[in-house]
Amino acid sequence: MTPRAFIFDCDGTLIDSMGMWLTIYPELVGRYGVHMTPDDFAATEHLAMPEEIAYYHEKLGIGESAEALIAELKDMLREKYGHEIRVCPGVRSFLEEARAQGIPLGIATSTDEDMVRLGLAANGLDEFFSCLVTTEEAGAS
């Protein structure tokens, strides 16, 4: 029986970005001379990005505002998604085979749409997906 469709998460499934997510916040706070320990990261990793960044701004006193810190983080993310993150092994051949069989492909992700599209385009994967839905669009994570 042929599947009617495949819906993928993006980070860690299609593109190898999970390691980047473990280093991006320490890199951000490091720009302000703050060292982040694994325990520091564990205390905030359950938070959504806006709440985590607000925590860093309020508790660590970095950035001119939480909004400015989010903008800085998003600039860093765009650089990484557009230039550093690569496709996960085996993904391209799987997508090609699914497309050859006429199986529609979509993405459901908590990552911002512009970041996902950058990562897909940088790796030549953007042509495969007819649907991309983010948690922001869905209204739930």
**Same-domain pairing of 77 and 116:** no
Domain count, the chain: 2
Question: What are the residue ranges of helices labelled H in the chain?
Answer: 18-30, 38-44, 49-60, 66-83, 91-100, 113-122, 135-138
Q: In what order do the strands lie in the sheet with 6-8?
A: 6-8, 105-109, 131-134
Q: pLDDT by residue (tens digit) across 42-89?
A: 788 788 888 889 999 998 899 999 999 999 999 999 999 999 999 999
**Same-domain pairing of 52 and 22:** yes
Q: Give domain status of residue 124, yes or no.
A: yes
Tell me the C-alpha distance between 94 and 90, whole Å. Answer: 6
**Same-domain pairing of 22 and 78:** yes
Range of the domain at 110: 6-17+86-138
Tell me the C-alpha distance between 86 and 97, whole Å. Answer: 20
Do residues 31 and 69 lie in contact, with contact meaning Cβ atoms separated by under 8 Å? no
- Pairing relation of β-strands 105-109 and 6-8? parallel
Question: What percent of the chain shows pLDDT beyond 70?
Answer: 99
Task: Please name the residues in contact with 5: beta carbons below 8 A apart, sequence gap of 6 or more.
Answer: 103, 104, 105, 106
Do residues 20 and 85 lie in contact, with contact meaning Cβ atoms separated by under 8 Å? yes
**Same-domain pairing of 26 and 11:** no
- The CATH number of residue 125's host domain is 3.40.50.1000
* pTM across the whole model: 0.85
Do residues 114 and 141 lie in contact, with contact meaning Cβ atoms separated by under 8 Å? no
**Same-domain pairing of 65 and 94:** no
CA neighbor of 56 nearest in space, from 21, 79, 26, 19: 26
Residue 141: pLDDT band (50, 70, 90) is low
Q: Give domain status of residue 31, yes or no.
A: yes
Q: Give domain status of residue 93, yes or no.
A: yes
Q: Residue 92 pLDDT more than 70?
A: yes
